[in-house]
Amino acid sequence: MYDIQKIREDFPILGREVYGKPLIYLDNGATTQKPRCVVEAITDEYYSVNANVHRGVHFLSQQATELHEASRETVRKFINARSSNEIVFTRGTTESINLLASSFAESQMKEGNEVIVSTMEHHSNIVPWQLQAEKRGIVLKVIPMNDKGELLIDAYEKLFSERTKLVSLVHVSNVLGTVNPVKEMIATAHSHGVPVLIDGAQSVPHMKVDVQDLDADFFAFSGHKIYGPTGVGVLYGKEEWLDKLPPYQGGGEMIQNVSFEKTTFNELPFKFEAGTPDYIGTTALAKALDYVSAIGMDKIAAYENELTAYAMKRLKSIEGMRIFGEAEHKSGVISFLVGNIHHLDMGTLLDRLGIAVRTGHHCAQPLMIRLGIEGTVRASFGLYNTKEEVEALAAGIERVSKMF
Ligand code: PMP
């Protein structure tokens, strides 16, 4: 059973008010709220275990290291990686993609080589490639989409050539909610001998992800979008790939031996983890993954999908409603505009009613250009949202609409 009341009680912030109204938090695509157990994991470790990891002989350091490495194992299991050597801790999706873009382009690409991305990428899966494009003369190819917000698979297949070195693709759009058929798209890339990086920032929190089943070569996600702390994320990479790639940053932890003449690098995954890691953050991330696993990712997905279907139906009944993103396979992100009301006005007035939504281009300006708009209002759901909150959102939109 999905005990929504009990789940909500695990998140103290959901009990607060804003402007004297109960908070309705519908900005989960930006970041999620944290259950008590995640916050407690942070304070507990600072109070009772804190010590730098991997280098100390002393008791606390060993205990902190054990916690940190146990968290890596929790992540491994959560996404079903083959080995914990394949789990690199980063600061988040953005850093994971920058790491890969830098190391991959440096070692695997030369001028004129191509990376395939899609129309619906977040800036964090566009700009790192453009930085490499400027440095090394590599070229971005873009998969187009239809008006429902679905990628055109035929066009995708035609983008491959002998110049294609990587596909870097968002799993779930943070604007449209489209769930891309990444398993099939990865198989297509592999049939051309091309590896694939999946941006899983918006998928991992909402559905079961199995990197081996997808056969993803690389997979990035952020802890803070899956009820974990800010500042911690993951880059998964197949061991045979990570072995081939050069380090991203240099420093402590990532070396085997350093002399002024020559430095040798540490084994995986430490080769990619220069400096003191956020070992408190990784413990808290593991707690968050344990938390959602205890509820069950399949149950969370089913609950959120039902809520999304309900919300789509209810919002569509509002006069002047335009929804962006009506893909067959859609997760809990609804972007919309109503009549001629500016997205910022709608967001600001909903906020006054206690409803937290996001407005703007959502770090996806190329997608906004494709849609022919400047921005949207975006409601994005998490595992604790309810139909009552959807009703309040709909009533809020209707109330704001009448003011214009
Ligand atoms: N990709 C997608 C699809 C996202 O939604 C986001 C966050 N909005 C990111 C990447 C970047 O994540 P972070 O800011 O946690 O690095």
Look up residue 193 and give its DSSP letter: T
How much is the mean pLDDT over the chain? Answer: 97
Strand, helix or coil for residue 133: helix
- 229 touches ligand 1 (CB under 6 Å): no
Which of helix, strand or coil describes residue 364?
coil
Rounded distance between C-alpha atoms, residue 168 and residue 370, angstroms: 19
The per-residue pLDDT for 1 is 86
The response to whether residue 171 sits with its C-beta less than 6 Å from ligand 1 reads no
Catalytic status, residue 363? yes
Residue 2 has pLDDT above 90, yes or no: yes
Instruction: Tell me which residue range forms the domain holding 394.
Output: 4-30+296-402
For 39, 224, 250, 252, the CA distances from 264, given in Å and listed in that order, are 38, 33, 11, 12
Decide: 32 in ligand 1 pocket, CB within 6 A: no
**Are both 238 and 373 inside the same structural domain?**
no
- pLDDT tens per residue, range 153-209: 999 999 999 999 999 999 999 999 999 999 999 999 999 999 999 999 999 999 999
Residue that terminates a domain, selected from 266, 294, 322: 294
**pLDDT tens-digit series, residues 313-335:** 999 999 999 999 999 999 999 99
pLDDT digits (tens, 9 = 90+) for 121-134: 999 999 999 999 99
With the most atoms of ligand 1 within 8 angstroms of its CB, the residue from 124, 168, 170 to mutate is 124
Interatomic CA distance for residues 98 and 124, integer angstroms: 8
How many whole angstroms separate alpha carbon 189 and alpha carbon 216?
10
Q: What is the pLDDT of residue 176?
A: 98
Q: Does the residue 393 lie in any domain?
A: yes
Do residues 353 and 211 both lie within one domain? no
Which pair of structure tokens corresponds to residue 268? 């995986």
Instruction: Output the CA 93–ligand 1 centroid distance in Å.
Output: 6
Q: What is the C-alpha to C-alpha distance for residues 95 and 101, in angstroms, rounded to an integer?
A: 10
31, 169, 174, best to mutate for ligand 1 pocket (most atoms within 8 Å of CB): 174
Indicate whether 368 belongs to any domain.
Answer: yes
Does residue 324 contact residue 175 with C-beta atoms inside 8 Å? yes
Domain membership flag for residue 35: no
174 CB near ligand 1 (under 6 Å): yes
pLDDT of residue 255: 85
pLDDT of residue 379 exceeding 90: yes
pLDDT band at 254 (very low <50, low <70, confident <90, very high): confident
- The domain that holds 71 is classified in CATH as 3.40.640.10
Cα–Cα distance for residue pair 216/198, rounded to 1 Å = 7
What is the pLDDT, as a whole number, of residue 253?
Answer: 82
Q: Is the CB of 94 under 6 A from ligand 1?
A: yes
Q: Which of 36, 24, 116 is nearest to 288 (CA)?
A: 36
Give the bridge partners for 119, in sequence order.
Answer: none
Distance 59 CA to ligand 1 centre (A): 37
Same domain, 143 and 256: yes
- CA of 228 from ligand 1 middle (Å) equals 14
pLDDT at 64: 97
User: Which CATH number goes with the domain that contains 332?
Assistant: 3.90.1150.10
- Same-domain check for residues 270 and 176: yes
Q: Show Cβ contacts of residue 79 under 8 Å, excluding neighbours closer than 6 positions.
A: 204, 209, 210, 211, 219, 234, 236
Residue 13 dihedral angles phi and psi, to the nearest 5°: -65, -25
Point out the ligand 1 atom lying closest to the alpha carbon of residue 96: 16
**Cβ 92 under 6 angstroms from ligand 1:** yes
Residue from 30, 363, 368, 373 carrying the catalytic annotation? 363
Mean pLDDT of 92-98: 98
Contacts 24+ apart (CB under 8 A), 394-397: 394/311, 394/314, 394/315, 394/317, 394/318, 396/349, 396/350, 396/353, 396/355, 397/315, 397/318, 397/321, 397/338, 397/346, 397/350
Q: What is the pLDDT of residue 320?
A: 98
Q: Which two tokens stand for residue 382?
A: 């998490």
Q: Indicate whether 79 and 147 sit together in one domain.
A: yes
Would you place residue 55 in the very low, low, confident or very high pLDDT band (cuts 50, 70, 90)? confident
All residues at 6 or more sequence positions from 31 whose CB lies less than 8 Å from its CB, including other chains = 224, 225, 230
Pairing, β 114-118 against β 164-170 = parallel
Q: What integer is the mean pLDDT of 260-277?
A: 92
- Please report which confidence band the pLDDT of residue 56 belongs to, taking 50, 70 and 90 as the band edges: confident
Q: Report the alpha-carbon distance of residue 267 to residue 102 in Å, rounded.
A: 19
Amino acid symbol at 240: E
Tell me, yes or no, whether 232 and 328 share the same domain: no
The CA 27 to ligand 1 mean position distance, Å, reads 13
Average the pLDDT over 85-102 and give the result.
98
Residue to mutate, 28, 121, 197, 202, ligand 1, most ligand atoms under 8 Å from C-beta: 202
Amino acid identity, residue 320?
G
Side chain identity at 188, as an amino acid letter?
Answer: T
Whole-number Å distance, alpha carbon 172 to ligand 1 midpoint, is: 11
Q: So what's the pLDDT on residue 284?
A: 98
Point out the domain boundary residue: 239, 268, 294: 294
User: Looking at ligand 1, which residue's alpha carbon is closest to its atom 14?
Assistant: 94
Report the alpha-carbon angle 71-77-79, nearest 5. 105
Is the C-beta atom of 177 inside 6 A of ligand 1? no
Share of the chain above pLDDT 90, in %: 95
Q: Do 232 and 125 fall into the same domain?
A: yes
Same domain, residue pair 237 and 257? yes
pLDDT value at position 310? 98
- CA–CA dist 395, 243 (Å, integer): 54
Of 113, 213, 204, 230, which Cα lies nearest the Cα of 164? 113
CB-based burial label for 147 (10 Å; 0-12, 13-18, 19+): exposed
Indicate the DSSP class of residue 151.
B
Residue 187 and residue 300 share a domain: no
pLDDT at 248: 95
Average pLDDT for 105-114: 97
Residue 199, φ and ψ in degrees, nearest 5? -85, 105
